[in-house]
């Protein structure tokens, strides 16, 4: 991944991402309109172990959801992938830290 790709992806995660989990494992996800299919396919190719779901169509909505979770996510965290968020957005960093604490992920 190039530095530009890394920065762009972090921007997407700060603006549109969700840092959480399913109660058993942590997950980072992004849900956006299906018109962003190209972006989602690029994310899936850049982040090993991530998955793209959809498109979903219901309630007059059409969207994709991209996720990285479990061991692939833990590897990203341990490699410092998310660390630059701290410099850019304290709210997103707090959400990220809460996820790490809840799921006992050590950096």
According to the model, what pLDDT value does residue 86 have?
96
**Domains and their CATH numbers in the chain:** 3-102 (3.10.28.10)
pTM exceeds 0.75 for this model: yes
> Mean pLDDT of all residues in the chain?
94
Q: Long-range pairs for 17-21 at CB < 8 Å and ≥24 separation?
A: 17/92, 19/92, 19/95, 19/96, 19/98, 19/99, 20/99, 21/69, 21/99, 21/102, 21/103
| Interval 40-74: pLDDT, tens | 999 999 999 999 999 999 999 999 999 999 899 99
């Amino acid at each position: 991944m190039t530095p530009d790709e890394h920065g762009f992806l972090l921007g997407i995660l700060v603006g549109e991402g969700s840092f959480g989990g399913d109660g058993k494992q942590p997950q980072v996800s992004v849900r956006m309109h299906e018109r962003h299919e190209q972006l989602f396919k690029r994310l899936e190719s850049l982040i090993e172990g991530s998955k793209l779901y959809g498109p979903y169509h219901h309630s007059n909505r059409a969207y994709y959801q991209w996720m990285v979770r479990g061991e692939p996510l833990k590897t990203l965290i341990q490699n410092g992938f998310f660390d630059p968020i701290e410099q850019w957005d304290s709210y997103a960093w707090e959400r990220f830290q809460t996820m790490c604490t809840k799921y006992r992920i050590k950096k």
